[in-house]
Amino acid sequence: MAQSHTSRDVARLAGVSQSTVSYVMTGRRPISEETRLRVEAAIEQLTYERHAGARALASQRSRVVGLFVPFGDGNDTVGKLPFIENIAASARAHDHELLLVTADEGPSGLRRLAGRSLCDAMIIMDIELEDERVAVAAELPVPVILIGVPSDPRGLHCVDLDFAQAAQIAIDELSATGHDRIALLGHPADITRRRLNYVSRFIDAACEHADLLGIRLEVIAPVELGRAAAAAAVDEAMAFGAGGRLGLLVPESGNVQAVLRALNSRGSLPGRDVSVVAVCTDAMAQDAEPPVTNVSMERRDVSQRAMETLFWLLEPDQRKPPPGIALVPARLTRRQTVMPPP
């Protein structure tokens, strides 16, 4: 059990002053090659590491990122892990630690982390349209990145998937392949209720863009999760209009499988008799039966962008373009569920 050493121990061993040790570590002052090597050797020998608390106290920076994770609520519990993992890796790459706070603490969690100077910046996942944390976050003395776009961002930095653009490229694809009608199989009611923001961003853009391209678009919503609801929605979609080339647009990744299954059981083979474009991760699209043409919504892209802007705020010496509300674009991957042009 290596008794923890201090920078004084290192200084003594290297035969220099304690402050020199500090300067070697921070690099805030030119050090002669020779003494630097001696100090580094001493550090190595003692396996010395700086005391985080002392460092934070003296430097006014904790080198910690606070992450507010929405546990508990049922939705998409699996997609969150890669997100967190990505955040952690990015923090680590900048020699920062990651402090995890569960969202059920609400605004008080934000105040605690800031008040105790526990972190230099925060990321709040799953921001809802009307989120009581946003107003609190805006008053904090540390930068905050929101994942999701609230109705009033208060000048905070937001990162989210670009749902409007996602809708557009999905419809572009269906248009380019000669479809003349599109059925949008919407989201479950409780999601729509909770944070209509991304839902409405998608649906509004879809309607607008379909209109622009002169394609008929019907929105079928809400569509609950589960086989029965999906089947009913599929029936409704297929009844919509007669003949022609029909494309189904499925923005809720949890419904993709059920929709495909419902089509199959009705004798409509996706990619031959009808088209399906899903909004989901590439992994999910690939695993679907059959592999479904999708507009990718990768949380990793979002976390990446979030951490970029975070460290852009934390290390202002850089020259990269300043961020604002960052919408991560989706991209379309063609698989087997869109009919080729006639």
Partner DNA sequence: TTGTAAGCGTTATCAC
Partner DNA sequence: GTGATAACGCTTACAA
Give the binding site for its own copies (CB under 8 A): 1-4, 47-57, 62, 64, 67, 71-72, 77-78, 80-82, 84-85, 88-89, 92, 97-102, 105, 111-112, 114-118, 139-141
Q: Helix 7-14 and helix 33-46: axis angle, to 10°?
A: 130
* Residue 20 contact, options its own copies, DNA, none, Cβ 5-8 Å cut-off depending on partner type: DNA
CB of 219 to its own copies, least distance (A): 31
CB of 19 to DNA, least distance (A): 3
* Residue 19 contact, options its own copies, DNA, none, Cβ 5-8 Å cut-off depending on partner type: DNA
CB of 50 to its own copies, least distance (A): 6
Total Cβ atoms within 10 A of residue 324: 11
Alpha helices in the chain (DSSP H): 7-14, 18-26, 33-46, 52-59, 80-93, 107-115, 132-138, 163-176, 189-194, 196-213, 227-239, 256-265, 282-287, 299-314
CB 274 within 8 A of CB 248: yes
Residue 142 identity? V
CA 292 to centroid of chain Cα atoms: 22
* Residue 111 contact, options DNA, its own copies, none, Cβ 5-8 Å cut-off depending on partner type: its own copies
285: tokens are 């699209």
CB 86 within 8 A of CB 304: yes
CB of 151 to DNA, least distance (A): 35
Is the Cβ of residue 115 or residue 226 nearer to DNA in the bound state?
115
* Residue 7 contact, options its own copies, DNA, none, Cβ 5-8 Å cut-off depending on partner type: DNA
DSSP string for residues in 91-107: HHHTT-EEEEEEGGGTH
* Residue 155 contact, options DNA, its own copies, none, Cβ 5-8 Å cut-off depending on partner type: none
Q: Which residues bind to DNA, rule: CB under 7 A?
A: 4, 6-8, 15-20, 22-23, 25-26, 28-32, 34-36, 48, 50-51, 54-55, 57-59
Q: Is 23 exposed, middle or buried (0-12, 13-18, 19+ CB in 10 A)?
A: middle
Is the Cβ of residue 2 or residue 242 nearer to its own copies in the bound state?
2
* Residue 16 contact, options its own copies, DNA, none, Cβ 5-8 Å cut-off depending on partner type: DNA
Is the Cβ of residue 57 or residue 176 nearer to DNA in the bound state?
57
Is the Cβ of residue 56 or residue 84 nearer to DNA in the bound state?
56
CB 131 within 8 A of CB 107: no
CB of 3 to DNA, least distance (A): 10
* Residue 194 contact, options its own copies, DNA, none, Cβ 5-8 Å cut-off depending on partner type: none
